[in-house]
Amino acid sequence: RPAAEPYCNALCTRSSSAWCAAKLGRRATLAMPLLPILQQPSLAEVSDIQWNEPKRKKTSLANLADDFTRAFQQTQWGVNGRVQPRFFDDKFVFRDPDVTTNGLQEYSKGTGAVLSNCKADAIDVTVKEPKQFAIRWRIAGTANVPFPGLKIKPYIVTSTFTVNDDGLVDSETDSFSIPTWDLLLSAIAPWWPGLAEPTP
């Protein structure tokens, strides 16, 4: 993961825990009905989340973006759904080119059900005043739907987060370096002409 290494290493040197540890071209599949057998791992993954934990105190946007990115990378919630509620407004809204989810718990459960066998590597974080920041990150691994083990070629996700007046993240909007149709077709028919190259 050469593209992610510099940012990961820089943050690891400022944290006592191993920090560097991703997302499916994502969630066209969240809009699909999930089989009960696929829902169970998600429920297990998020069952020990402390949903009522105290919220994080408001700080500067730069400080929030840095702390948020560390937690995102350490917990891998972008793919396993194991969010830290202290960062979020409970009415958090997620959007990508294919689907929208409303509520932090719905986002958590849906993400874990679809992407729990993927890995996220943060590349960089950018503060966009006054109330936005964006994380660029690389995702790779296998998805659980439409069937388990669907290999997803690596690509870049840009996640733009908005922050409310209480200093909590209240929305995320994702864009992808490779279109969802290309990602799915590459997983099923990688020989198809004209498909984008995987992100290094």
Q: What is the pLDDT of residue 45?
A: 56
Instruction: Confirm if 172 and 159 have CB atoms less than 8 A apart.
Output: yes
Cα–Cα distance measured from residue 115 to residue 22, given in angstroms and rounded to the nearest whole number: 8
Cα–Cα distance measured from residue 66 to residue 45, given in angstroms and rounded to the nearest whole number: 25
Q: What is the pLDDT of residue 51?
A: 94
Question: Which of the residue ranges 20-24, 69-73, 111-115, 176-180 would you say has the lowest mean pLDDT?
Answer: 20-24
In terms of pLDDT, which residue wins out, 144 or 27? 144
pLDDT, tens digit (0-9, with 9 covering 90-100), for 149-175: 888 899 999 999 999 999 999 999 999
In terms of pLDDT, which residue wins out, 16 or 36? 36
Question: Which of the residue ranges 18-22, 32-36, 72-76, 184-188 would you say has the lowest mean pLDDT?
Answer: 18-22
Q: What is the CA radius of gyration of the chain?
A: 16
pLDDT, tens digit (0-9, with 9 covering 90-100), for 179-188: 989 988 998 9
User: What are the Cα distances from residue 144, in Å, to 62, 111, 183, 195?
Assistant: 35, 10, 14, 22
